[in-house]
């Protein structure tokens, strides 16, 4: 069996790559690895999902797998991923399961797992779960299934969303009166939660793409398609727009003038706010290697240390926990504030971004202007073999030539996707033209090393 877990859980085309049988196997394996058993405690799991249609089918499989492994289950229904993580900690569950493919299109789905406390899994724990799944598929798959009263029971946690909303509202004391915001809910898990939180915090809210039907999640909307939230901000004269993805662990923004405000800029705004409040531990921000050089320069100018990790909010989380830091995130809009969340939380991010605007009386354009991004080009190259596409000698030579050409005034980053058959080519340069030319040359080298059709950028 190949690698089961990607950058963020198990992901694939629902009922093709990610079948109910596989979902059940993963649930059983997760229970066997993560759920502690003793005579006084029957294990407990929290299970949630986003509203895509296949989530109903996969939820049934996961719940059945957990119960068959002797785990009691609390179903929380449709809820953002960070809400499931929060309730996993709040209920003192042994594990949490979120069924979502995040920003991926509707036909995909995924399984995100949380350990006790709502924390994402370390690499070695994922490897243990993979080993159990592989073992169960072979001749050594026999294990002692519980019977009778030891079989898990299944209940619905009807007020789970209310607890999560109350938690979010308690994280920010600054009222949002006077802030007019458009929120794009991506027809996803934020559709009920985000408008309620922002309104109860005092903002005037215009919600768009907040009518999920199981098939329209992420469809030309949300954090990967900012066109309509931008149009709505300009049409309604809003102070800003916020865009979440399908499971609401991301937040990107649009300023009043229609300018995009990405995760790097949001991190900078919140880092400066937290340092001013004395809550930015070690005057340090944690980001990934994908963050723009402009963020690093802005933080250096402000006297804030920027620590870089591998791509993936799990690695940001690892560094935050290791160093006791209080803010980190990704350019894509995953921001983590460990004082309030164990994983990226898009609604929390939007709430605190608006709180900073309300507290300072400054526009988002002004606040985000602390970062001047270098022109950046990202090309997603479909490949047959992600490893070959990123490690071929000719590809590495092309990268070396590009870096020599940039001579320290930019950079090249080559990264196999953790969830799709792609190699991501990212180039930053002093001009957009230079970045595009360099990225095209490197992408062409990747294509030659492992051809698989046209770009998916």
Annotated catalytic residues are 102
Residue 319: CB atoms within 10 Å: 19
Longest Cα–Cα distance of the chain, Å, equals 69
Characterize the bridge pairing of strands 10-13 and 108-115.
antiparallel
Whole-angstrom CA distances from 294 to 134, 263, 300 are: 44, 12, 10
Token pair, residue 203, equals 């903002």
385 is in an annotated binding site: no
Token pair, residue 334, equals 């995953």
d(Cα 282, Cα 254) in Å, to the nearest integer?
Answer: 30
Characterize the bridge pairing of strands 44-49 and 260-261.
unpaired
d(Cα 165, Cα 176) in Å, to the nearest integer?
Answer: 16
Partnered with residue 113 across adjacent β-strands are 97
Radius of gyration of the chain (CA): 22
Token pair, residue 430, equals 């002093």
d(Cα 242, Cα 44) in Å, to the nearest integer?
Answer: 35
184 is in an annotated binding site: no
171 is in an annotated binding site: no
247 is in an annotated binding site: yes
Q: Which residues are annotated as a binding site for Mg(2+)?
A: 102, 245, 247, 249
Q: Which residues are annotated as a binding site?
A: 102, 245, 247, 249
């Amino acid at each position: 069996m190949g690698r089961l877990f990607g950058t963020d859980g198990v992901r694939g085309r629902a009922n093709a790559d990610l079948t109910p049988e596989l979902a059940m196997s993963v649930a059983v394996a997760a229970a066997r690895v993560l759920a502690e058993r003793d005579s006084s405690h029957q294990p407990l799991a929290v299970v949630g999902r986003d509203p895509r249609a296949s989530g109903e089918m996969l939820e049934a499989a996961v719940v059945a797998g957990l119960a068959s492994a002797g785990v009691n289950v609390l179903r929380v229904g449709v809820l953002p991923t960070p809400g499931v993580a929060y309730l996993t900690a709040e209920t003192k569950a042994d594990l949490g399961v979120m069924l979502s493919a995040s920003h991926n299109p509707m036909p995909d789905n995924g399984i995100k797992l949380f350990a006790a406390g709502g924390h994402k899994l370390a690499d070695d724990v994922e490897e243990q779960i993979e080993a159990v799944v592989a073992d169960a598929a072979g001749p050594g798959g026999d294990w002692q299934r519980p019977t009778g009263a030891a079989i898990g029971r299944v209940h619905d946690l009807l007020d789970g969303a209310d607890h999560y909303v109350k938690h979010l509202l308690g994280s920010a004391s600054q009222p949002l009166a006077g802030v007019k915001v458009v929120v794009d809910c991506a027809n996803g898990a934020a559709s009920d939660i985000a408008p309620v939180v922002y309104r109860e915090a005092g903002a005037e809210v215009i919600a768009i793409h907040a009518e999920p039907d199981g098939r329209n999640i992420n469809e030309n909307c949300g954090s990967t398609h900012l066109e309509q939230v931008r149009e709505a901000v300009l049409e309604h004269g809003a102070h800003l727009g916020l865009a979440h993805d399908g499971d609401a662990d991301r937040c990107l923004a649009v300023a009043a003038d229609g300018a995009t405000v990405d995760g790097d800029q949001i991190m900078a705004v919140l880092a400066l706010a937290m340092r001013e409040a004395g809550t930015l531990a070690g005057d340090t921000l944690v980001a990934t290697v994908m963050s723009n050089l402009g963020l690093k320069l802005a933080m250096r100018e402000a006297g804030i240390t920027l620590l870089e990790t591998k791509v993936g909010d799990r690695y940001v989380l690892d560094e935050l926990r290791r160093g006791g830091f209080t803010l980190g995130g990704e350019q894509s809009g995953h921001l983590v504030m460990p004082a309030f969340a164990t994983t990226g939380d898009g609604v929390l991010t939007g709430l605190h971004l608006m709180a900073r605007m309300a507290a300072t009386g400054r526009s988002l354009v002004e606040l985000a202007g602390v970062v001047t991004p270098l022109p950046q080009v990202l090309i997603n190259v479909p490949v047959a073999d992600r490893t070959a596409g990123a490690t071929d000698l000719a590809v590495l030579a092309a990268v070396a030539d590009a870096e020599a050409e940039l001579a320290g005034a930019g950079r090249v980053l080559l990264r196999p996707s953790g969830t799709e058959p792609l190699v991501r080519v990212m180039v930053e340069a002093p001009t957009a033209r230079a970045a595009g030319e360099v990225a095209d040359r490197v992408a062409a080298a990747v294509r030659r090393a492992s051809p698989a059709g046209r770009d998916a950028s």
